[in-house]
Structure 1
Amino acid sequence: MTFDAIGIAGTGLTTHRKWLDALSDNIANINTAVTPAAPAFQERYVVVENSALSPGVYVAGTELGSPEGRLVHQPDHPLADADGYVRYPDIDLGDQMSQLIMAQRGYQASAGIVDRVRNAYEAALQIGRS
């Protein structure tokens, strides 16, 4: 039972870490401009599923947002086309920051569970030694 709790919390740690990685990638590329003919940076979404073989969750993969992005009129930008447009990703910073907070708290909760279960296991070992 104790090891199941550590294993389940471990899957949560891995899943939240990968979610944090995707979010940091999205935030880092929010201002990445390309020419209008090129696809924009595509927002990363982490796909999570229940594990059929063991308790917990796992990252089944990632999905990508639209390569269409948004066109912005910036005639002085070095990547601007003849009409003065550049393409940016269509990523909402507020949404990314909200998800970042949720992913951080989920990671912290899973790490806290690992610590509490480890402490309980150590206490049980101490009782057994007495």
Structure 2
Amino acid sequence: MGLFDAIGIAGTGMTVNRKWLDAVSDNLANANNATSTAEEAFRARYVIAAESPDGKGVQVGGIVLGDAEGRMVQEPDHPLADAQGYVRYPEIDMSSQMTQLIMAQRAYQANAAVVDRARMTYEAALQIGRS
């Protein structure tokens, strides 16, 4: 492991965590979007993390989309309701998404702390070298 590998590895983690936070916030923002039964529901996004090709860190390995079927809800007064009074909502579990949000946020904070501590260690090593 090289001198600045800790910062680089933690930086890759921060990038994946940011993408994860973006996906969760997108899911939460669209959780209550209704569509007509003839259209697809909003498809939740799930980030897949994978080891980076050089073996030093992590990267976004892909994005998995949720079910386009969603869930049918009877709301006869809704402007998008079909003849039977149904509209389609995304299949997004708010409690699961909030849990994912907290996990992604804590992982981002942990990686940011690694970057900060590595920086402080490198600065201390430079001060020793100057003495």
Question: TM exceeds 0.5?
Answer: yes
Question: Partner of 1:116 in structure 2?
Answer: 117
- 1:128 paired with 2:129, answer yes
Q: Is it true that 1:103 corresponds to 2:99 in the alignment?
A: no
Q: Quick one: distance in 2 between partners of 1:21 and 1:58?
A: 15
**Identical positions, percent:** 65
Alpha-carbon displacement from aligned partner over 1:66-121 (angstroms, at most 9, x marks no partner)? 10000000000010011100000000000000010000000000000000000000
**Counterpart Cα distance in 2 of 1:53 and 1:2:** 16
TM-score for the superposition, normalised by structure 1: 0.98
Q: Which amino acid aligns with 1:14?
A: T
Q: Counterparts of 1:3 and 1:74 in 2: how far apart (Å)?
A: 57
- Per-residue displacement from partner, 1:18-63 (whole Å, max 9, x unpaired)? 0000000000000000000100000101011101224000002211
Distance 1:84 1:3 in 2: 60
Instruction: Give the whole-Å Cα distance in 2 for the aligned partners of 1:48 and 1:117.
Output: 23
Counterpart AA for 1:33: A
Residues 41-120 of structure 1 aligned to structure 2 (within 5 Å): 41-120=42-121
Structure 2: runs of 5+ lacking an equivalent: none
Q: Provide the residue aligned with 1:40 in structure 2.
A: 41
Unaligned runs of 5+ in 1: none
Cα pair 1:2 1:117 within 8 Å, conserved: no
**In structure 2, what residue type is equivalent to 1:64?**
L
Root-mean-square deviation (Å): 0.7
| 1:12 correspondence with 2:6 | no
Q: Distance in 2 between matches of 1:104 and 1:5?
A: 20
Could you tell me how far 1:14 is from its partner in structure 2?
0.2
Q: Which runs of 4+ in 1 moved over 2 A?
A: none
TM-score of the two chains, using structure 2 as the length reference: 0.97
